[in-house]
A = this chain, B = another copy of it.
Amino acid sequence: MKFGGTSVANIERIKNVADIIKNKKKDNSKLVVVVSAMAGVTNDLVQKSKSISKNFSNEEYDVLLSSGEQVTSALLSACLIEKNIQARSMLAWQIPIVTEGQHKNSRILSLNSKAILNYLDMNYVVVIPGFQGISEKMRVSTIGRGGSDASAVALAKALDADRCEIYTDVEGIFTTNPEICDKAKKIEKISYDEILEMSSLGAKVMQSSSVQKAMMNDIEIFVKSTFSPEKSGTQILSEDRISYNQVITGVASSNDDAKITLIGVKDKPGVASAIFKPLNDQNIIVDMIVQNISADSKKTDVTFTVKRDDMDKTKKMLENLKKDIGYDNLLTDNKVAKVSIVGAGMITHPGVAYKMFNALSLKKINILVISTSEIRISVLVNDSNVELAVKTLHSAFELD
C-alpha cells in the first residue's frame, strides 16, 4: 500500500491512513506500506536548498529531502502502534534498498527483502519511507520526484506481493480530466500501455517508469482513493486480461506545449540529428515531430513540439546553430495544446483516426500536427480549442 503526499498531508490524514491499514489488516494480510513526505514538506526543503545555492550539492540534496519521508514513516508507524497494530518504520539503510546512478535521480538496483519478511512473519506492518535508498558508496540517495511509486513497485516485486495499491487523492483513473469534461467516468480496468500513454499525456496518477516496471514484472496495481477506500478504484493490468467493449479508453489533453517550425531546412542525411541532438544534450524533451518532404526543391520544413517552459531556451539554441543546421527561418507558437485519444481497442478497430479527425472538423477545430502510436492518436490544436476538442472526442467515442 502506497500513500502519496496529499494522503498524509497532516496528522488527521495520517490517522485516516492508519484506519485504512487497520481495516485491511483484519483479514490478516501481510502489509508493507510505502509513504511519501507530507504534502508541502518536500517543496519546503527544496526551497531551503535553493536559498543556500543554485548548485546545491546533489549528495546533500538527497540527505535533505529523504528526511521528509522519514518523518511520515515514523508518524504513521507510531499511529498504527497507538491503534494496537504492531508496526515499525524501516529506513532505506536498514533494509537496505541499494540504488545505482546519479544522486537526485537514482534507480533501485537491489532490495534485501530478508529483514522485511522477518517482520512480516512476526505480523508487523512494515512502514517504509518511499523515494529513498542508499548508494553503493553508502550515501543517502533518492529516486527522483514521484519516486515513492517506484519504491512501492520495487517492493511489490521483491516481496512477490499479491497486489500493489496506490492510494491517492482521486478515486481512480478517469476517461478524461473531470475538470474539463463533466461527463468523465472512472475507468474500472486499464492496461499498462494505456496508462503509460495517458500519463505521458498529462493524466498524472502514477510515475511512468513505475508503471513500466510493474508491466515488466506483471504486478497488478490498484489505484484507489485515500478518502473513499471502500470504492473499487482503477485496476492496472496487462492488456490481454481486459476485454475491450470500447474502441477508446480515454481522452487526454495537455496545455503546456509549444510548437517550433524550421522553414527551409536542407533535405540531406543527418539534418534531423543536427537539430535534435543538441536539444537532447540539454535535456529538452521533444514530443511530436513532423517533417514535410518537399517534392520540388531540396528543402523541407520540420515542425516539433517541446514543453512550453523550454521554448525560449530551444529557440535560442537553434538560432545559435543556424549555420550548422542550415535553415531559412524559425517560427514558434506557444498557444498550442495536445489532445489525444488512447485505447488498446483501436488496434483491432480500423477507421479510428478518420472518426477522430472528422469529429474535430465538424466542430471547425483545425489540426496543426498529428502523431500516432499503436494505441494512441494525438493532435496539436490551438489551445483555445482544448476544452471543445476533449468534449467532442469524449462524446464521439461514446465515453459520456
User: A49 on the interface (CB 8 Å rule)?
Assistant: yes
Within 30-69 of A, Cβ neighbours of B (below 8 Å) are at 45, 48-49, 51-53, 55-57, 59-61, 63-64, 66-67
Q: Are A53 and B79 in contact, with the CB atoms below 8 A?
A: yes
Identify which of A67, A91, A93 gathers the most chain B CB atoms within 10 Å of its CB: A67
Q: What 1/0 flags go to A81-102 for Cβ under 8 Å of B?
A: 1100000110101100000000
Q: Contacts A11-B51, A52-B11; is A57 near B70 (CB within 8 Å)? A: no
Inter-chain contact A63/B73, CB cutoff 8 Å: yes
Query: Is A52 a contact partner of B75 (Cβ separation < 8 A)?
Result: yes
The distance in angstroms between the C-alpha atoms of A328 and B348, with both chains bound, is 96
Residues of the B chain whose Cβ atoms lie less than 8 Å from the Cβ of A140: 91
The reply on A78 being an interface residue by CB < 8 A is: yes
Q: Which of B14, B52, B61, B94 contacts A82 (CB 8 A)?
A: B52
Judge if A370 is at the interface, Cβ distance under 8 Å: no
Copies of this polypeptide in the complex: 2
Residue of B whose beta carbon sits closest to that of A54: B82
A77: Cβ under 8 A from any B Cβ: yes
Chain B residues, Cβ within 8 Å of A49: 75, 78
- Contact sample, A vs B, 21 pairs, CB 8 Å cutoff: A11-B51, A11-B52, A48-B71, A49-B75, A52-B75, A52-B78, A52-B79, A57-B77, A57-B78, A57-B81, A59-B88, A60-B88, A60-B89, A63-B74, A63-B89, A63-B91, A64-B71, A64-B78, A67-B70, A67-B71, A67-B74
- A interface residues with partner B (beta carbon < 8 Å): 11, 14-15, 45, 48-49, 51-53, 55-57, 59-61, 63-64, 66-67, 70-71, 73-75, 77-79, 81-82, 88-89, 91, 93-94, 138-140
19 additional contacts (CB under 8 A) given A61-B74, A63-B70: A11-B48, A14-B52, A45-B71, A48-B71, A52-B79, A53-B78, A53-B82, A55-B82, A57-B77, A59-B88, A60-B75, A60-B78, A60-B81, A63-B74, A64-B74, A64-B75, A64-B78, A66-B70, A94-B138
